[in-house]
């Protein structure tokens, strides 16, 4: 992959809705406690989209900032990929809705469905387009409004999720920088562990699907936890090997923010000190496709990476899927 032109991040932006839902707020809604949520997940609060905000609205805010930071106009974009499992609607795609809102007239646009791994899948897809010369640049946004598909009577899931968007513009970068490797994978056999069953061609929306709460996230938390710990380890090893690097070469680790305990187990395996790990699950909870870009962009805004730093992103999620990448900043 490195024989082709180097492709990396040239602009970043993020957005979270204003409204904050704290653990204390949730104590008033379901049988839970701040102590349980913090000790089992590390989450303290999450942001929730306003009633009139849809996924494309969150994406728009992050996109505007990413374009500004790249010094680009929307018309300059060749490609828009939105990674999400909560599109505004089934179709048109949220990417097409955003293309119109931005006025990105020259851009191809599509949505990508790989749940929490979607952003890394999107980076790999767009990088391939640019490396092969089909396009020169792309806007990739990981964005989800999980609050819209969360059952706020189910304490097993409702404490875990939040809304947000993280965006990057990618394009050609100087030699030696940019994406060094990707490791994407799927285990479809585990799909039933984390799903939203109804509203598609298998189970179209009906009074029954509403009655049975099949328009909400279902998750077998314990099994997904085991999968997560396993693939965070294997994907990290594989993506480092593909880049010809070892764990000691990594300056910043940007993991999917689902549960602090999953992040800590990866830190232990890699023997990484906390200052090399981006953690914001406490503020945003699990924002699905937005999780890795929110962490990446926040770290960039806080000045945590400098030119030439090696960054390892790794995530896992519904599908089941995983995705990892090594990026030289």
Contact 173, 8 (CB under 8 A): yes
65: tokens are: 């900032």
Q: Which is nearer to ligand UT7, 5 or 148 (CB)?
A: 148
Verify whether residue 116 is a known catalytic residue. Answer: yes
Q: How far is the CB of 318 from ligand UT7 (least distance, A)?
A: 7
- Determine, following the binding rule CB under 6 A, whether residue 40 of this chain makes contact with ligand UT7: yes
Judged by beta carbon, residue 16 or residue 104, the one nearer ligand UT7 is 16
- DSSP 8-state symbol, 319: T
Q: Residues 140, 108: contact at Cβ < 8 Å?
A: no
Asked if 286 is an active-site residue, the reply is yes
Q: Which of 116, 145, 158, 259 is catalytic?
A: 116
x/- mask, ligand UT7, residues 200-239, rule CB under 6 A, reads -------------------x-xx-xx--x-----------
66 is a contact residue toward ligand UT7 (CB under 6 A): no
256 among known catalytic residues? yes
Phi/psi for 279 (5° steps) reads: -130, 120
Mark residues 128-157: x for contact with ligand UT7 by CB under 6 A, - for none.
Answer: ---------------------------xx-
Residue 281: CA atoms inside 13 Å, Cβ hemisphere, count? 26
Q: What is the closest distance, in whole angstroms, from the C-beta atom of residue 258 to ligand UT7 in the complex?
A: 3
Footprint of ligand UT7 on residues 92-121 (CB under 6 A)? 116
Do 321 and 188 contact (CB within 8 A), yes or no? no
Work out how close the CB of 38 gets to ligand UT7 at its nearest, in angstroms, rounded to a whole number: 11
d(CA 84, CA 101): 18
CA distance 251 to 144: 28
How many residues contact ligand UT7, by CB under 6 A?
20
Q: Tally helices (H) and strands (E) across the chain.
A: 11, 13
Pick from 167, 170, 164: nearest CA to 63 = 167
Closer by beta carbon to ligand UT7, 141 or else 260? 260
Q: How far is CA 327 from the centre of its chain?
A: 16
Buried b (16+ CB within 10 A) or exposed e, 218-252: bbebeebbebbbebbbebbbbbbebbebeeeebeb
Sole binder of ligand UT7 in the list 32, 44, 128, 280 (CB under 6 A): 32
d(CA 86, CA 161): 13
Binding map of ligand UT7 across residues 252-281, x = CB under 6 A, - = no contact? ------xx----------------------
Shortest Cβ distance from residue 21 to ligand UT7 (Å)?
Answer: 13
Nearer to ligand UT7, 45 or 78 (CB): 45
Q: What phi and psi, each to the nearest 5 degrees, are found at residue 102?
A: -80, -25
Name the residue nearer to ligand UT7 (CB basis): 178 or 315.
315
Alpha helices in 144-220 (DSSP H): 155-158, 207-211
Name the minimum Å distance from CB 34 to ligand UT7. 10
Q: Which residues carry out catalysis?
A: 116, 256, 286
Q: Which residues bind ligand UT7 (CB under 6 A)?
A: 32, 36-37, 40-41, 116, 155-156, 159, 194, 219, 221-222, 224-225, 228, 258-259, 286, 317
């Amino acid at each position: 992959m490195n024989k082709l032109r180097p492709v990396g991040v040239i602009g970043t932006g993020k957005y979270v809705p204003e409204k904050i839902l704290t653990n204390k707020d949730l104590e008033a809604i379901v049988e839970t406690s701040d102590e349980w949520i913090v000790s089992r997940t590390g989450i303290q609060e999450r942001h929730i989209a306003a009633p009139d905000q849809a996924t494309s609205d969150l994406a728009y805010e992050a996109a505007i900032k990413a374009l500004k930071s790249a010094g680009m106009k929307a018309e300059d974009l060749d490609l828009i990929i939105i990674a999400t499992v909560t599109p505004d609607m089934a179709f048109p795609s949220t990417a097409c809705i955003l293309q119109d809102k931005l006025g990105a007239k020259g851009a191809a646009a599509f949505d990508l469905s790989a749940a929490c791994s979607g952003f890394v899948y999107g980076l790999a897809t767009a990088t391939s387009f640019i490396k092969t010369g089909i396009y020169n640049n792309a806007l990739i946004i990981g964005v989800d409004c999980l609050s819209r598909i969360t059952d706020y009577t189910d304490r097993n899931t409702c404490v875990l999720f939040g809304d947000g968007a993280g965006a990057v513009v990618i394009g050609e970068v100087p030699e030696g920088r940019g994406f060094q490797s990707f490791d994407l994978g799927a285990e479809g056999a585990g799909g039933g562990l984390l799903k939203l069953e109804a509203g598609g061609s298998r189970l179209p929306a009906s009074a029954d699907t509403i009655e049975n709460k099949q328009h909400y996230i279902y998750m077998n938390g314990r099994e997904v936890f085991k999968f997560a710990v396993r693939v965070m380890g294997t994907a990290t090893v594989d993506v480092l090997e593909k880049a010809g690097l070892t764990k000691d070469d990594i300056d910043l680790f940007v993991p999917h923010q689902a549960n602090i305990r999953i992040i800590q187990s990866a830190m232990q395996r890699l023997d990484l000190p906390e200052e090399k790990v981006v953690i914001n699950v406490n503020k945003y909870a699990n924002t699905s496709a937005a999780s890795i870009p929110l962490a990446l962009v926040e770290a960039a805004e806080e000045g945590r990476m400098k030119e030439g730093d090696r960054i390892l992103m790794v995530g896992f999620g519904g599908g089941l899927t995983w995705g990892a990448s090594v990026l030289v900043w």
